[in-house]
Structure 1
Amino acid sequence: MLAAAFKGLKARPGVFYLCTTIFLTSVGMGALAPILPLFTESEFLVNRTQVGIAVGLFGISRIFTSLPAGYLTQRYGRRVVLQVGSIISVIGAVMVAFSFSYTWLICWRFISGLGWSVYLTGSSVYLRDVASVDNRARFLSLLEMSILAGQSLGPLLGGYLGDRWGYRIPLHISAVFVALSFLVLQFLVPESRSRISVTSEPHGNETRKESSEAGGDTRERQGLLRLLLSPAFIFVGMFTLMIVANRQGGRFSVLPLYGESKGFTASQLGSFISVTHIPQFFTTMLAGFLSDKFGRKSTIIPAVTLITIGLMLFIFTDNVHKLILSGVLLGLGEGLAGPPSLAFFADIAPPGLEGVTMGLYRTFGGVGSAIGALLLGGVADLAGFVASLVVDAALLICAAIGVMVFVKETLNKEKA
């Protein structure tokens, strides 16, 4: 599996450099993971719900940008969208590092998230361009693997710097890595979509062209309507929503605060978040292979089972060993959940609406960030950390049941 992934990267150098940019940005974002909740709470003296908002706004921005970004990839090309997203990310990360008030922080976190959302949508479409049906899940899993590799190193770096020099230093380091990512993109990542020539046509063909375009618009509208009403779109979208809600609201917001209340340090919490990403990296790669081999639904039940056990174990965690074990289980589970969901959406994309479909996938993630930040943070404020994690697990289980019961397998249909 790993050899096949590297072979694919070697054959398509643009994919390698794209993954490098995602890795660098993820290191920067990961450096904030163990620090941002603690920084926000100590610097601005806010409650847990407000901490959840500061963490979750980064992902909530997907609601507003993912679909437009998907449309723009179709109209102007993948590289232009990637450049715009990267520039916004750099500006947002720099301004977050100089936060002097809670309002300033959440505003620029939101803007930073806008850029990252645009970038990930463009990246998803880019990877779909270079993949075939038979290796689609594996190629799309490269995106998640690049994020995970960066987020495995970032929290360790952020936690160490936060303990040694204060919570603000990791914010500046984050901005540096995001800026490095932009430089790699600017000079090394080519366009993935073939340019369509726009030479003028003879006047005799104009009527035929206009008629063809009108028919194409009608087919696209019908395709979009069928997509929005399909069980795969609805239930896989809800499952994606809950995976992101668990990550943004649970792992990145509630769990660090809960861990701090248990007496764990910033470095220990950084190690916890990093260790979730290490096994997640390998199960993401495994899930891409299994999804291409046995179907998109093959890893969903194991994924949710592992995440649920990891959340319940965290409730009873009272030492570093249990903390790390909880992180390993959470990482194993989320790694199995990611590629199948992304491949589902790539499979059901109507012709000509690939960018819009991938944008809608990212939009579900944005809604998940909002739910994770507001719902799980709110439950933690009102009923405590334990109740928040129980709600998280229950909603995730319900979303998985919806996919298994109501969604037809898409891989066999395409191969047929």
Structure 2
Amino acid sequence: MKTAPVLGLRENAGQFALLMLVNAFVGAMVGLERSILPAIAEQDFGLVARTAMLSFIVAFGISKALTNYVAGRLSDRYGRKLVLVAGWAVAAPVPFLLMWAPDWNWVLAANMLLGVSQGLTWSTTVIMKIDLVGHRQRGLAMGLNEFAGYFAVAMSALATGWVAARYGLRPEPFYLGIGYVVIGSVLSVFAVRETLHFVHHETHSVAGPVEPLNQRELFWKVSVGDRNLSSVSQAGLVNNLNDGMAWGLFPLVYAAAGASIAEIGMLAALYPAVWGLGQIVTGALSDVWGRKRLIVGGMWVQAAGIAVTGHAGELMGFAIGAILLGAGTAMVYPTLLAAIGDVARPDWRASAVGIYRLWRDLGYAVGAVLAGLLADFYGLGSAVYVIAGVTVLSGTLAAWRMSETRIAATNAG
């Protein structure tokens, strides 16, 4: 007779820590591009129009968003581990395409593959951690997961900026990516264990009637129908709209103010570093304070950080803006995932996470297109201020529509 799995962070600490490590290498793959790809677009490929330059973020965002949706469904059907390993296989060509790309289309192809890989790997590590911990420490679990991923984004951005400043933009910075893929793949194949049986156990223990939903009904519920789930989805989209703008435009804003490649790398790392470290605290706080106040407040703090960056003209101001943006994102990012886990039943939770992450990561594409068009027609400063305004509106919408989900999860448990 098999022993029933035990839910909880402490009870599954070893596997949870391993998944954090795997997600660090997942995040590090994104960090490869964070500080240097806009410079590569200008210097190696002669791109001047901001819309064309930010097309790599559009390719990344759309492919990642669509893959998030597929990853949720596949992991419910075939298990989490298989999807995780497949994601690393897709990532394998990315460093080589970036370091040897003869034209910009190769960079776009690399970012499409990177988006697919991120959708498969990051989605799966999120879902597996939710599987392991149950409802009691869901916010802390998401904070730890996102800390591992985004602190690694920061460290990788810092490392590639340092390497690029000393050895050039290509190919040396992308050698790091080969190591990330090898280590992440080995850990995923040989050390990570399947968690789908935790879901089956939790599903049988949840009180209340089963709520069978087909994919159309579930998509409508998460996107529009449920006030909490749809509020989370729109906030996630605007959050990553901000991130797409910060990824693509902020290095250009810094460069226009006279920052060097090394300084740009440092600033590009500061925002995700604050974001990553802050999530250890904010994820746990959401288990105590609830989700809504952190989501609403976090969107408004993000807006303040973006506005400060747009107003600043020197490194100290840029650093303050990056810190505020990182702090606001830390308040929002793990809390949104925890709120999805609060509301969704275990039997359709992975699919709900996939739909949420579809909308959230479409924000990369929306942000890159919107920021690029605004920058081309009205200038970098105007683009930054418009995005700040959109972020204020998103927080206000969540304040109006959303109720507290942590209470519902506690009662259900």
Fold-level similarity (TM above 0.5) = yes
Q: Is the 8 A contact 1:28 1:176 kept in 2?
A: no
The farther-off stretch of 288-297 and 315-324 is 315-324
Query: Are 1:409 and 2:398 counterparts?
Result: no
1:327-366 mapped onto 2 (5 Å cutoff): 327-366=322-361
- The equivalent residue for 1:372 is 367
Deviations 1:64-99 (A, max 9, x none): 211111011111111001001111112233322221
The farther-off stretch of 290-299 and 55-64 is 55-64
Q: Is the 8 A contact 2:232 2:356 kept in 1?
A: no
Corresponding letter in the other structure for 1:312: A
Corresponding letter in the other structure for 1:308: A
1:39-50 mapped onto 2 (5 Å cutoff): 39-46=40-47, 47-50=49-52
C-alpha displacement of 1:290: 1.8
Corresponding letter in the other structure for 2:238: M
Which of 61, 76, 89 pairs up with 2:91?
89
CA separation of 1:140 and 1:45: change in aligned 2, threshold 3 A: same
Percent of matched pairs sharing the same residue: 21
| Inter-partner Cα distance in structure 2 for 1:361 and 1:292 | 20
Query: Are 1:33 and 2:34 counterparts?
Result: yes
C-alpha displacement of 1:221: 6.1
- The equivalent residue for 1:125 is 127
C-alpha displacement of 1:187: 1.7
CA separation of 1:258 and 1:195: change in aligned 2, threshold 3 A: closer
Q: Which has the larger radius of gyration?
A: 1
Corresponding letter in the other structure for 2:185: F
- The equivalent residue for 1:208 is none
- The equivalent residue for 2:152 is 150
C-alpha displacement of 1:264: 0.6
- The equivalent residue for 2:195 is 192
Query: Are 1:236 and 2:239 counterparts?
Result: no
Corresponding letter in the other structure for 2:252: L
Corresponding letter in the other structure for 1:240: G
C-alpha displacement of 1:165: 0.9
| Inter-partner Cα distance in structure 1 for 2:45 and 2:52 | 10
Which of 169, 176, 181 pairs up with 1:178?
181
Corresponding letter in the other structure for 1:193: L
Task: Name stretches of at least 5 consecutive residues in structure 1 with no aligned partner.
Answer: 1-6, 198-214
The farther-off stretch of 368-377 and 52-61 is 52-61
| Inter-partner Cα distance in structure 2 for 1:218 and 1:154 | 43
| Inter-partner Cα distance in structure 2 for 1:145 and 1:164 | 29
The alignment covers a number of residue pairs equal to 392
C-alpha displacement of 1:38: 0.6
Query: Are 1:286 and 2:281 counterparts?
Result: yes
SS of the residue corresponding to residue 82 of structure 1 reads helix
Q: Is the 8 A contact 1:9 1:16 kept in 2?
A: no
TM-score, normalisation: structure 1: 0.88
C-alpha displacement of 1:222: 8.9
Deviations 1:111-145 (A, max 9, x none): 12111111111112101101121211111222210
CA separation of 1:227 and 1:34: change in aligned 2, threshold 3 A: closer
Deviations 1:191-232 (A, max 9, x none): 1122999xxxxxxxxxxxxxxxxx989555696254441112
CA separation of 1:323 and 1:196: change in aligned 2, threshold 3 A: closer
C-alpha displacement of 1:300: 2.5
Query: Are 1:303 and 2:298 counterparts?
Result: yes
Corresponding letter in the other structure for 2:186: L
Which of 247, 262, 285 pairs up with 2:257?
262
SS of the residue corresponding to residue 111 of structure 1 reads helix
CA separation of 1:337 and 1:196: change in aligned 2, threshold 3 A: closer
SS of the residue corresponding to residue 193 of structure 2 reads coil
TM-score, normalisation: structure 2: 0.89
| Inter-partner Cα distance in structure 2 for 1:8 and 1:131 | 5
Corresponding letter in the other structure for 1:43: D
Query: Are 1:315 and 2:317 counterparts?
Result: no
C-alpha displacement of 1:9: 6.4
Q: Is the 8 A contact 1:300 1:336 kept in 2?
A: yes
The farther-off stretch of 256-265 and 275-284 is 275-284
- The equivalent residue for 1:211 is none
Q: Is the 8 A contact 1:275 1:324 kept in 2?
A: yes
| Inter-partner Cα distance in structure 2 for 1:72 and 1:276 | 33
Q: Is the 8 A contact 2:142 2:335 kept in 1?
A: no
CA separation of 1:76 and 1:402: change in aligned 2, threshold 3 A: same
The farther-off stretch of 337-346 and 7-16 is 7-16
The farther-off stretch of 357-366 and 282-291 is 282-291
The farther-off stretch of 306-315 and 371-380 is 306-315
C-alpha displacement of 1:369: 0.9
Corresponding letter in the other structure for 2:188: L
The farther-off stretch of 239-248 and 269-278 is 269-278
| Inter-partner Cα distance in structure 2 for 1:314 and 1:380 | 15
- The equivalent residue for 2:111 is 109
Q: Is the 8 A contact 1:227 1:349 kept in 2?
A: no
C-alpha displacement of 1:176: 2.5
SS of the residue corresponding to residue 190 of structure 1 reads coil
CA separation of 1:10 and 1:408: change in aligned 2, threshold 3 A: closer
| Inter-partner Cα distance in structure 1 for 2:157 and 2:386 | 26
Q: Is the 8 A contact 1:59 1:117 kept in 2?
A: no
RMSD: 2.2
Which of 137, 140, 148 pairs up with 2:139?
137
Q: Is the 8 A contact 1:93 1:109 kept in 2?
A: no
The farther-off stretch of 294-303 and 141-150 is 294-303
Corresponding letter in the other structure for 1:289: A
C-alpha displacement of 1:172: 2.9
